Structure 1
Amino acid sequence: MSLGGDDGYGDGYGGQDPARTGGTGRGGGDAHLTRTHLPEGDGDGYGSPRRPTRTKPSRNLITVVSVFVILIAAIAFANRGGDDASDDTSTNSSSGTNGNDNDNGPKAEATAPTGERPVNGKNQVTGIASGFAKSEQGAQSAAANYAVALGSVDMFNKDRRHELVPQIFMTSAASDFQGRLDKAYSTNMLTSIGLDKNGKAAEGMTYISRTTPIGTKTTEHADTSATVEVWCTGVFGTAGQGSKNPVTNDWFTMTLKLRWEGDDWKVESYSQKSGPAPVNSDRSASTADEIAKAVEQYGGFTYAR
């Protein structure tokens, strides 16, 4: 903001000096005649009349008002939730129509608070969030957290995996998926990526498997069932000098079919496909030691819609 500005006045005397001498005398002979330039009026016949004072608005005032208007507009836009749906909600709320409570209540948006608590707590053994709301929003929150667990390094350890599966899957599906996952994480598979039968990396190495949800989308939703797609990225591999399976990143989408069971959402089945993946940047890769320390020092999150 400029601190300068006009003084609000003109030049006062129209370019003439207030008093000046010059001219010729009368009655013969030279003489000096003093001419006085009047400050106001129609002039004295020698100088130009004084111009009226002009008042111009201060640049500072214009700038302050402009910034204030922009700030108010920005706040109003942010409170809308950034979506036309929010406008509709506001209109219904203020028009006094006889709509139901759902029409007048807040709608879940990507950046707008809903007022609904997303999760009640975590399982003390597995650390997985629990107590999701029985709603589309709650189903998306559950799917995001279950995707993180299914893509975690804990799945490579049999004992830890057997603790996680009953917390993620429905009672009727847990046993079946336990067997499938035990077969998938076989000793041969673990050996092929440099891990022992317990999913541990060799001495001096750190195996990394961390999944991060980018967004969620509900494709089907009913009172006690939902299908949610979770778009994810993640880092996977072994960090350490001489690693034959270096840490890389990946992009994939998990589709989870959920059922409401025991006052919470549980997984009935799930699948995974590659992408969507952005173009890789030309950023230089960090060292294996930096990656290993980052995973140890930076904890994960509870994801909620």
Structure 2
Amino acid sequence: MSLDDDRNDGLFGGSGETRTRLPEGEGGDDVYGGTRRSGRGGRSSSRSLVTVVGVVVLLIAAIAFANRGGDEGSGGGGDDKKTTTSPTAASGTKPVGGKNGGIPSGFAHDAQGAQSAASNYAVSLVSADILKPDRRTEIVRQLFVADKVSELEGKFDKTYSKDFLEKIGLDEKGNAAPGQTYVSRTVPVGTKTTAYSDGGASVEVWCTGAFGTAGQDTTNPVSNDWFTLTLKLRWADGDWKVESFQSKDGPAPVNGDNKVSTADEIAKAVQEYGGFTYAR
């Protein structure tokens, strides 16, 4: 399962094609229940039951296509400053003063603020909400610079078409079938500023997360993935806004030998555990 090949040349990890993760074996009646996952060094039959099409791959490829044509390169103007690697520990500084439509806003006008903004924006860009037409409009208008909004609204709408949503088991409004819960929960692991100036910044956000559909009859059980989003930000209207973004695979650790939860447990966790405001 993939997006049209001509939409993805060079956009996903430089390979020119959309990656897929296909099932390695026949699944049982409950692909969630009772199995354990082995490390990459020795994949067991139980691991094959939960190795399925990576829905997050489709999502990231889709947003990359929607952003196609965006200006690439480092953020800012001619006064770009080289940055050095910074400690991974959080700074402890409060990231923002408020939220707009549930998305943090009002980030500090410095490199730390740019990293905090990029982390929170990554969560929204690879979320379940981005697949819902009404919510997507709000997200695009809040996250992106004003001169990119109209173009991107059209591209996102075209990318997240009815056919695309059907591929991941959703209806045209981005909702899962009755009795199922669609999951797209992104978690930033770390950030790195690769370029910074008063007018713009380029920030890499290393992410993991849970992606798929929780439900007894699903063909895409919830699994995890690791990827890196690079966001080019511009300081506009008193906040950091996204000008363009790219994605690539990993870095990904060896999978742990974790007990796989049931579909009900996954759905309940998504409903009960809220997200965070991320700060550098």
Task: Establish whether TM, by shorter chain, passes 0.5.
Answer: yes
Q: Say if 1:113 and 1:276 are closer, same or farther in 2 by CA, change over 3 A.
A: closer
| Residue in structure 2 matched with residue 300 of structure 1 by the alignment | 275
Alignment of 1:80-99 (within 5 A): none
Whether the 8 Å contact between 2:140 and 2:153 is mirrored in structure 1 is yes
Q: Give 1:196 deviation, angstroms.
A: 0.5
Partner of 2:158: 183
Question: Aligned equivalents of 1:119 and 1:144: distance in 2?
Answer: 12
Shift of residue 109 of structure 1?
4.6
Instruction: Write the distance in 2 (CA, Å) between the matches of 1:227 and 1:252.
Output: 17
2:251 to 265, 276, 292: 276
Cα separation, partners in 2 of 1:119 and 1:282, compared to 1, 3 Å? same
CA distance in 1: counterparts of 2:210 and 2:102, whole angstroms: 20
Q: Does 1:122 align with 2:95?
A: no
1:49-60 to structure 2, matched below 5 A, reads none
Note if 1:161 corresponds to 2:136.
yes
| DSSP 3-state at the match of 2:233 | strand
Please give the residue correspondences for 1:1-305 in structure 2 after superposition, counting only pairs within 5 Å: 109-111=87-89, 113=91, 116-123=93-100, 126-305=101-280
The verdict on how the C-alpha distance between 1:281 and 1:112 changes in structure 2, with shifts beyond 3 A counting, is closer
Shift of the alpha carbon at 1:113?
3.9
CA distance in 1, matches of 2:116, 2:95: 7
Q: Deviations over 1:59-105 (max 9, x none)?
A: xxxxxxxxxxxxxxxxxxxxxxxxxxxxxxxxxxxxxxxxxxxxxxx
Q: Assess if the C-alpha contact under 8 Å between 2:88 and 2:190 holds in 1.
A: no
- SS of residue paired to 2:264: helix
| Structure 1 gaps, min length 5 | 1-107
1:235-293 per-residue CA deviation (whole Å, 9 max, x = no partner) reads 11110111111111110000000000011000000111111101011212111110000
When normalised by structure 1's length, the TM-score is 0.62
Shift of 1:117: 3.8
Aligned match of 2:24: none
Aligned CA-pair RMSD: 1.3
Higher relative contact order (CA 8 A, sep 6+): 2
Distance 1:176 1:203, change over 3 A: same
**One-letter identity of the residue aligned with 1:217:** K
Displacement of 1:191: 0.6
- SS state at 2:277 partner: coil
Go from structure 1 to structure 2 and tell me whether the alpha carbon gap of 1:166 and 1:112 turns closer, same or farther (over 3 Å shift). Answer: closer
Counterpart residue type for residue 111 of structure 1: A
User: Residues 112 and 142 (structure 1 numbering): CA distance in 2 closer, same or farther, change over 3 Å?
Assistant: closer
- What does the per-residue CA deviation read over 1:171-191, in whole Å, with 9 as the maximum and x for residues that have no partner? 001111111211111100101
**C-alpha distance in 2, partners of 1:210/1:230?**
15
Which residue does the alignment assign to 1:47? none
Distance 1:220 1:289, change over 3 A: same
- Percent identity, please: 62
| 8 A contact 2:189–2:205 mirrored in 1 | yes
Q: Tell me, what secondary structure is at the counterpart of 2:183?
A: strand
For the pair shown, the structure with the greater C-alpha radius of gyration is 1
Per the normalisation by structure 2, the TM-score is 0.68
Give, in whole Å, the separation in 2 of the partners of 1:109 and 1:271: 24
Query: 2: CA distance between counterparts of 1:252 and 1:206?
Result: 23
Deviation at 1:111, TM superposition (A): 2.9
Deviations 1:162-217 (A, max 9, x none): 01111000000111111121111110010111110001111101111110000000
